[in-house]
Structure formats: structure tokens, C-alpha cells
Structure 1
Amino acid sequence: MSKYAPHGSRTSQPKATSSTVCQKCLGQGHYTFECKGARPYVSRPSRTQQLENPKLFAKLKSDKPSVEVPEEFKKPVGMANKILEAKEKERSKEGKGKGKEKGKEPARKRRK
């Protein structure tokens, strides 16, 4: 026997209470792995029926979003766009200053 294995008392499977609900047969008092009943047919409305029902359609088409979006994400210009614009401005400033200095030739491009 391994020295890491539990000794003595064996753990038994948990006991289901009267409030335990089986996910398979929807009965009470047992777990799903203990279930001997058949899965019952539960009819649900189709997507078309849900959309035709005005109460459900109003919930789907509510103007208020279910999650609050921060202001920085609502703006059309995101953080990445701001960073790119700042870098482009820096490049344009550097590019104007390089070739226009008196007495210096513009840098040559290297061949690959």
C-alpha cells in the first residue's frame, strides 16, 4: 500500500437530501448519476414565438444596455488610434527636419 493513500475510513458518496433536484428527470431526492427515470420532454417556445410575443420582444429591444460601457470605449477614436496619430506626428516632424538642414545631404537608402 502506498504511504500517500488515505488509510482507515473510506469516504462514501454524498447523500442526497429531499431538496436535491435531479438534472435528468427533474425529480427530487437523488442525484443525476443515481437517476433511473427517463428524461421528460419539456416544450419550449421557438425563437419565432419568442419574437412575436410583445413582452419578450420589448426585453430584447430595450434601449438600455445590460452592461454599462465606459466613456472611453464609446468614443469613435480609441486609445490605439491616439497612439498611432502621435507617432505619425513625431515621424513627420523628424522627416521634415532631416533633409532640410543646410550643408547636409539627405540620407541614402541602403540596398538589401
Structure 2
Amino acid sequence: MSKYAPHKRSANQPKATSSTTCQKCLGKGHFTYECKGQRPYISRPSRTAQLENPRLAAKLKQTIEVPEEFTKPAGTANQILEAKEKERGEGKGRGG
């Protein structure tokens, strides 16, 4: 054993617990870089199947907070431009 490359675990490399799950083989008890198993094939539904089946589509929908300016279908660009023009008008009055 070399003094430059010790073969024992240090504090920086903890031992995997029994609940540690490998991301490669989905087995328990070892880290991904220690894995000697093969990657299992996991079948997933296609995008069409997800959209056609309401149970699968429910998993896709997430509650995402959308700003109010994007919820209205018409006039969004005009509202943004009006707000910017007001800001410009206020700026001219001060430093003019």
C-alpha cells in the first residue's frame, strides 16, 4: 500500500447505508460510483399516451404561479408599453 494512495475510507468518503439508493441500478446499499450492476429498463408511457389518459395527464399538471400580465390573452404588450412610457415620463419631469 502506498502512502500517497491509501486504500481505506476517509471521513470525506462515508460508507453507504442500507437506505442509500443507487441511481444507476436502483439497488440499495451502495453509491452510483461503486455500482457493478446493469441499468434496468424502465418503460414509461409515451407523450401521446400521457395526454390521452387523464390519470397520467394529472401527474403532468403542476400548479405553477403565472403572473397576471400573462393570463390575459389580449393587450399584454400594450399594457407593458404603457407602463414603460409612464416610467419614462416620470423620469423626464425630475431630471429634465
Same fold (TM over 0.5): yes
Per the alignment, do residues 74 and 57 of structure 1 end up closer, same or farther by CA in structure 2, a change over 3 Å counting? closer
What is the aligned partner in structure 2 of residue 67 from structure 1?
A: 64
TM-score, length-normalised on structure 2?
Answer: 0.58
- Secondary structure in 2 aligned to 1:82? helix
What is the aligned partner in structure 2 of residue 36 from structure 1?
A: 36
Counterpart check, 1:11 vs 2:10: yes
Distance across 1 between alignment mates of 2:58 and 2:68: 26
Structure number with the bigger relative contact order (C-alpha 8 A, sep ≥ 6) is 2
Measured against aligned partners, the alpha-carbon deviations of 1:62-92 in whole angstroms (never above 9, x if no partner) come to 7xx82334546656312x532325757xx9x
- Secondary structure in 2 aligned to 1:49? helix
What is the aligned partner in structure 1 of residue 4 from structure 2?
A: none
- Work out the number of aligned pairs and report it: 76
Distance across 2 between alignment mates of 1:54 and 1:71: 28
TM-score, length-normalised on structure 1?
Answer: 0.51
* Off by >6 Å, runs of 4+ in structure 1: none
- Which structure shows the bigger proportion of residues in helix conformation? 2
**Structure 2 residue ranges without an equivalent (≥5):** 1-8
RMSD: 3.2
Counterpart check, 1:83 vs 2:80: no
